[in-house]
Amino acid sequence: MKRRAKTILAAALAVAATSFAAFVALPANAETATVTVANSWSSGYQAQVTVSNESSTALSTWRVELVMPAGTTVGQAWNTTMSVSGSTYTFTPAGWNATIPGNSAASFGFIANGTGRPTSCLVNGKACTGTVTPTSSPTRSPHVPPSPSVSPSVSPSASVSPSSPTGSTPVAINGQLRVCGNFLCNQYGKPIQLRGMSTHGLQWFADCYNGTSLDALAKDWNADLFRIAMYVQEGGYETNPGGFTSQVNNLVDLAEARGMYAMIDFHILNPGDPAFNLERAKTFFAQVSARNAAKKNVIYEIANEPNGVSWAQIKNYAEQVIPVIRANDPDAVVIVGTRGWSSLGVSEGSTSAEIISNPVNASNIMYTFHFYAASHKDNYRAEVERAAASLPLFVTEFGTVTYTGDGAVDTASSNAWLDLLDRLKIGYANWTFSDAGEGSGALKPGTCSGSTYAGTGVLTESGNLMRSRIRTADNFPTA
């Protein structure tokens, strides 16, 4: 479709978390279930459930049932498959975490809308008949600090809201992001829109990305987001995995230091079948998620532009890669590419209905949409409008020009697109913050060989348009 081409909130916010635990000994495997409220705010809370196998025999599967009181629902869950019947929420394995070896544990998390704690608990069909205070911290991601334990009868009034922002940057205000409903939400559970720029291929334009250029994005453009496009082929990752991984991590750090979110883009394009790079993806995301797990500013984009393959094939790829990330970074937002060069299938004659009827079996995820304003117009905009009613979307890449990444800027179509995304609160990253000699390049050719990136003098027509849109005030609600 174009061109040449974290912690859990408690750790990030240092809030006083509350926890409650329910234990039950069962025949044969002696499972126990522990529910820990990791963080709470005025309208809900985040919890982690740990199922422990305290016997020496492997447990082949598990099931946790929680009954929520009136006025409290579970909005999303991760590392599990969730179903609901009335006020009862049933959590079963995500697939990869079904078996629990002897003396080991599996865990999953959920977001509750409302302050009520579960009123009852079942583990593998047996009632949780008693409560105790844990004598040790439950199993959790290594970067999550322990939480003090209290009785499950703790009053909802004990909930603690996230502390007020201590800075004015996007990350300082919004903290750890999560998906809530069809939106990207901040640490306060409020829908937000991130706006920013994408790199071009790191193998071609590495000189464009340094402290000075990112200062310009953060302070002159007021960008919220920096997308790091790491090509896998075309002279990219496959030629030097260690070198490109280090380059990506360095750019994550530069973005973090300036208070911007960093989107790590596994930039597949040719070939379009993500399965071709499945093992590379597992290796890469295992490394970057382990290295960046404690950061609040990282978003993972696992497949840039799948093409020539079915949605079922893309879904299968996603359901193999996402658990690799979750093993290290259970709370990060993950973005999944869609069919037809991430057009929700439109560019290959399909629609978003195939995703809506068969979504990825994972939580805290979003779906990708890409467009190029001079090529993709009303029918593509209509599909985004329809899809946004059912799916959380993120425009991880778009251009103001044709799908080739070149040609004249279509100002009218670009503004129509940006107005739509603003109205729907869909985040975006523009292609590209580079001095590529093509219409989509935001910087004039030769800019990256110098030291000046701020101001309008170094910008192309596309760069000036995007800077003027991104510089407008953000709307980041905190209450």
Q: What are the residue boundaries of the structural domains of the chain, listed by start?
A: 9-158, 170-470
Residue 12, pLDDT score: 35
- Provide the pLDDT for residue 53: 80
Per-residue model confidence (pLDDT) at position 102: 80
Query: Of 460, 439, 467, 462, whose CA–CA distance to 3 is shortest?
Result: 439
Question: CATH fold of 170-470, please?
Answer: TIM Barrel (3.20.20)
End-to-end CA distance of the chain: 40
C-alpha distances out from residue 69 to 78, 88, 117, 152, 418, Å: 21, 9, 7, 13, 41
Q: Which two tokens stand for residue 253?
A: 């750090």
| CATH of span 9-158 | 2.60.40.290
- Give me the pLDDT at residue 39, please: 65
So what's the pLDDT on residue 9? 35
**Euclidean distance between CA atoms 130 and 32, whole angstroms:** 11
Beta bridge partners of 473: none
Residue 460 to residue 411: CA distance in whole angstroms = 13
Question: Catalytic positions, please?
Answer: 305, 397
- Dig out the tokens for 418 from the structure: 């940006």
Q: Do 47 and 110 form a contact (C-beta atoms < 8 A)? A: yes
pLDDT given for residue 46 in this prediction: 75
Take residue 14 and report the two structure tokens written for it: 């240092």
Structure tokens at 88: 């009862």
What pLDDT does residue 49 have?
83
**Residues of the chain whose pLDDT is less than 70?**
1-30, 38-42, 96, 128-166
User: Tokens 């929700």 appear where?
Assistant: 344
